[in-house]
Chain A
Amino acid sequence: MNDTITYLETLSNAHGVSGAETQVRRVIRSLVQEHVDGVEVDAVGNLITWKSGTGSSRLRVLVAAHMDEVGFMVVGHTNDGALRFETVGGIPARILPGLTVLVGPDALPGVIGIRAIHRLKERKSTNQVPQVSDLAIDVGARDREEAQRLAPVGTTAVFATRFRQTDASCIGKAFDDRAGCATLVSLLRAPRFPFDLFGVFTVQEEVGLRGAQVASYRIKPDAGVTLEGTLADDLPKEDSDVSPTTALGQGPAITVMDRSYITPPRLLQHFTQVAEREGLPYQFKQPGIGGTDSGGIHRAGKGVPTITVAVPCRYIHSPASILRKHDLNAWGQLVDAALRSLTPDVLTPQLSE
């Protein structure tokens, strides 16, 4: 399981904004190639891997983690060489001032700076969040022509955060969902499952759960499991008696229902029973928050019973997220155990006679 953290470090430091996941795909391919029976990239960029089972189960199971992270796209240039940009995926404008980013495939450093506080005309401006359309990335270019050459329109940029560890935690960017990718890599490098496993590293989750939908349509699995890095809101608040959505240190977070899909009750029960049997901690993510690849997977073809199981992360969609190693390990163990004990009766809705 320490291996998962090693994979997480490499994956967290890789760049892959929605629609530009090439680098992440390369890293993952090199990590899983020797351990699976096949690897392919599909028409939208999903990395699809398959690993035959031992033969004792005829199920086909799709496990998904998305490769893309939220980031930025260059949309224009200013006369004095700065880059106009838009966000890719949901990044709130208020975290942007003062940020360092890495631009393009060559990871050119750039900064997002705003008018000095000393020079603000009105005092109330110190409380105002600038609009993204008023911001720009400065890579040090002298003029428009140089900026266009260095970072043409369409170039993507990511947070400049580098992965770090403490005894208890990992700190880095894009744990949503490089944590899922790392855990899926570990699953694919583990011994064969009873059934045929399709490990799909999806694209474009952050802009609409898009890659997952076509992968599920193609594979037509009997069950789907989405591995996510989900939000933990267990932070100081005015009213403390409210849901934290998920909390660090309480184990993997299982989704009952989010804005994109609902977990079939029997599948939900299977995972909680396995957790209890294995003595693993778990929590339910606050229902009704967010959407995941399960939203794309469950509705493809004739329908797929699907579940999202996630590791809680604080500060997702911002430069540096934090997760607990203990949660990461318990998560990997739960998913592995629940998969290995998955049987068809968990998946089929029953008709009472």
Chain B
Amino acid sequence: MDLKLLEQITQAFGPSGYEQEVRDLIYQEVKSYADEIQVNPLGTLVAYRAAKQGQGQPQRLMLAAHMDEIGLMVTHVEEKGFLRFTSVGGVRPLNRIGGRARFQDGTVGVVYVERREDTRSTPELRHLYLDVGAESRETCPFKVGDVASFFGPLVKQGSRLISKAMDDRIGCYILMEVLRRLEAPAYDVFFAFTTQEEITLSGARTTGYQVEPDIAIAIDVTATGDTPKALPMEVVLGKGPAIKVKDSGMIAHPRVRQMLVEAAVRSQVPYQMEVLVGGTTDAAAIQLVRSGVPSGALSVPCRYVHSPSEMVDASDVEHAIEMLTTLLTTPPQ
């Protein structure tokens, strides 16, 4: 595992709409491995590799991982210099209180909650504020519209990896690794590092329109059912990448699901079948593009999604890279 790259990619600043830093990093990493690279109007980076094996006209296969992470945007600067904010993507107040946010220039802010009468009710986003240490509105260096990401350094412990933005920088990492290792693709492959997944899925939708793939697979994270009192869910950490059956935005196309199962079996890696009740991926948008794209998803099991400390297992990541590589180099039947 390339821990240095993983650290760079997870720690890069890139809330939805502000993915520049992540895109530049990925570009530097992949430019020598792609036949062609371009950026489209909403900022998705697409790295293309032409098919090198197989019979007849190659199919177009699009793999999508999103560069954007959730974050916050300043909505109001109070008289005393505290900042109020709105969520960029799905921010859960409970797991942010006491944590930190980071602006693009590196300034750190403490996220905390105002004192409330009813301390037993769950706080909402409007009860939270950000303290960057400013004394007043006039001396506060930030204004309405400024964007911050959250703070969560990368830690490896045994086979567990913990960081902010595993969703979906781990997907970006996987695609970069697959692209690096890819020798003789059996498809025309489009590696799409998408924008704005956490807010609108618009990066994936518009890229799907532009690329016109025959098949699309999103690489993202999914939840697990292996933590205390978790809602029943079959996926657990360390038992292999999860092949999506259904989530709240999409029912995977059976043919794509089958392709992924066969790739896992052929690579001899463990895998799990995933039904996710809350949450979706870029594939939900791509499947509806033009006259439809058979789509599926390969998920990295992840505990604590949308918290500062998203946790995945290195073996699941490695297995995902292996089975994807197998999939790309196996000619379709």
Contacts and interface: CB of A to CB of B under 8 A. Distances in A.
A302 B210 contact: yes
B272 interface: no
A295 B196 CA distance: 12
A141 interface: no
A126 B244 CA distance: 54
Contacts of A303: 40-42, 44, 202-203, 206-207, 209-210
A287 B200 contact: no
B199 interface: yes
Contacts of A265: 17-18, 20
B209 A349 contact: no
Contacts of B76: 242-243, 286
Interface string B51-78: 0000000000000000000000111101
Given A241-B78, A264-B17, A284 B86 contact: no
B78 A301 contact: no
Contacts of B203: 303
Contacts of A295: 200
Interface residues of B, number: 38
Nearest to B196: A262
Contacts of B73: 256-257, 287-288
B257 interface: no
Contact of B75 (A286, A302, A349): A286
B43 A264 contact: yes
B16 A305 contact: no
A298 interface: yes
Contact of A288 (B78, B86, B205, B206): B86
Contacts, number: 101
Given A284-B145, A351-B23, A299 B17 contact: no
Interface string B13-38: 00011101001100100000000010
B220 to A, nearest CB: 19
A85 to B, nearest CB: 33
The secondary structure that dominates the B interface is mixed
Contacts of A348: 39, 41
A261 B200 contact: yes
B144 interface: yes
Contacts of A261: 200, 202
B262 interface: no
B43 A260 contact: no
Contact of A256 (B43, B145, B205, B209): B145
A264 B43 CA distance: 9
A241 to B, nearest CB: 5
Contacts of A298: 42, 202
A284 B17 contact: no
Contacts of B49: none
A352 B39 CA distance: 12
Interface of A: 222, 241-243, 256-257, 260-265, 268, 284, 286-288, 295, 298-305, 347-352
What are the 10 A-B residue pairs with the smallest beta carbon separation, nearest first? A288-B86, A303-B206, A262-B17, A243-B76, A303-B42, A256-B145, A303-B41, A302-B210, A349-B43, A299-B202
7 contacts: A256-B73, A256-B144, A257-B199, A302-B206, A303-B203, A303-B206, A351-B27
